[in-house]
Amino acid sequence: MGCKMFNKEGIPFFTIMIPFLTILFVSFFSTSYYLKLTNENFEADLIEYKKMYILKSNTDDKSILTIENEKRLLHEQRQEKFKEFMVVLTSAIIIFMALFSMLMVTVISDVVKKYKEQVQSKEEKLQSLNKNLEQKVEEGIEEGKRKDKAILQQSKLARMGSMISMIAHQWRQPLTELSGILMELETATRFKKVNDEHILNSIERSDKMIEFMSNTIDDFRNFYKPDKKKENFYVLDSCKKAINLINASLDDGGIELELDVKKDREIHGYPTEYSQVILNLVSNARDILVEKNIENPKITISIDSMGVLSIVKVKDNAGGIKEENFDLIFDPYFSTKDSSKGTGLGLYISKLIIERNMGGELSVKNDEEGAVFKIVLAG
């Protein structure tokens, strides 16, 4: 059924045949109706003619019959001519419609063919685009992974540099004391005033300094070990852990650190990573205070809680962040410091730790004195 209704190009059969059949039907109907109509008219005229002819003359019936036969013969000849004309007309219409149908088939076929070619071309372009898009997405993912690895590697190097700097500050005082102990022993030896008690006392003091320095190394090594699983910890403990590592560096820069504990809270997360965030924020505040040479430099760490939320703020009095830098402050590689002093990864890594790893929020704003970084975490 479908094959008869549609040809091989998919063109509807009725769109071609219905006009053709309609004209053919009209032609035959017109011919039949005209022939019938002319026969009726002829019979009526013939009867009228016979009445008039009989009244006006005395012609016999035989003569009338002869005249009638002649009229009928003439009428039949006219009908035959009309039939021949209608046959020629119908044939011409049929030929015209056949040619017209062929033309329409060709035109529609070309249109459909061009449409199919356009659709196929667009499908091929779309498939090509999809393949290229898939390839570009894969390349983008790989590029993103490479960048993430590079960022993490640079972050590790930056943390290592920061760690070495802070170790140097932590070791400066005990090394000075060790140097003093050795100078005392040297002086006492030169003047022959050294005794066993003095030597043992010097050794004990030296051991304490060496133990302090050894503990400093252990503190830094454990500090940068990644947490393997989440655990409950108090915010104050993690903050103190970070403060202990940077306290000597702050003292060396003459920077006052105030710890304002309104309400401590136990939270669930990664304590070491949290301490790293606090250390990053305090370290950044220290750098900007030193860079701007602020008079009476001060860093304040406030710890508070509201409902189930733990809120920690780290603020300084360095004047705040420029308005145009607010949208960029947490972007990787963005830094307001000199390239030799910062990589622009500290705040980026800190935001990842708080928001991606621990499901909290790290934000920044300016107050009347300087920048205020706020960490919000659910307990």
Domain boundary among 69, 92, 127: 127
So what's the pLDDT on residue 59?
56
So what's the pLDDT on residue 90?
75
So what's the pLDDT on residue 340?
46
Distance of CA 337 to the CA centre of its chain: 32
Higher pLDDT, 22 or 320: 320
Of the ranges 2-11, 192-201, 225-234, 316-325, which one carries the lowest mean pLDDT score?
2-11
**CA 193 – CA 187 distance, rounded (Å):** 8
Q: Is residue 374 part of a domain?
A: yes
Closest CA to 20 of 105, 83, 125: 105
Q: Is residue 346 part of a domain?
A: yes
Q: Is residue 145 part of a domain?
A: no
DSSP string of 68-101, one letter each residue: HHHHHHHHHHHHHHHHHHHHHHHHHHHHHHHHHH
At 282-301, the pLDDT tens digits run 988 998 998 888 989 999 99
Q: Is residue 20 part of a domain?
A: yes
237/368 same-domain check: yes
User: In the chain, how many domains are there?
Assistant: 2
372/234 same-domain check: yes
At 163-188, the pLDDT tens digits run 676 667 667 767 777 888 788 888 88
Mean pLDDT for 255-266 is: 93
Q: Is the pLDDT of residue 323 over 80?
A: yes
Q: Is residue 31 part of a domain?
A: yes
At 28-85, the pLDDT tens digits run 766 665 666 566 666 666 666 666 665 555 556 666 677 667 777 776 776 777 777 7
At 369, which CATH number? 3.30.565.10
Q: What is the pTM of this model?
A: 0.51
* Beta-carbon count within 10 A of 346 CB: 23
118/232 same-domain check: no
Q: Is residue 270 part of a domain?
A: yes
* Beta-carbon count within 10 A of 32 CB: 11
Percentage above 90 pLDDT, the chain? 17
Mean pLDDT for 299-310 is: 93
Mean pLDDT highest for which of 39-48, 140-149, 217-226?
A: 140-149
Q: Is residue 232 part of a domain?
A: yes
The pair of structure tokens assigned to 359 is: 């499901």
**CA 152 – CA 192 distance, rounded (Å):** 58
Q: Is residue 81 part of a domain?
A: yes
Domain boundary among 98, 127, 156: 127
Of the ranges 104-108, 122-126, 326-330, which one carries the lowest mean pLDDT score?
104-108
At 348-361, the pLDDT tens digits run 888 888 998 889 99
At 189-207, the pLDDT tens digits run 888 777 888 888 888 888 8
Q: How confident is the model at residue 224 (pLDDT cuts 50, 70, 90)?
A: low
Mean pLDDT taken over the chain: 77
Instruction: Give the list of residues 6+ apart from residue 174 with CB closer than 8 angstroms, or none.
Output: 209, 210, 212, 213
298-306 vs 371-378, strand pairing mode = unpaired
Higher pLDDT, 262 or 2: 262
Range(s) of the domain holding residue 30: 10-127
So what's the pLDDT on residue 6?
45
So what's the pLDDT on residue 10?
46
Q: How confident is the model at residue 333 (pLDDT cuts 50, 70, 90)?
A: low
Domain boundary among 127, 147, 180: 127
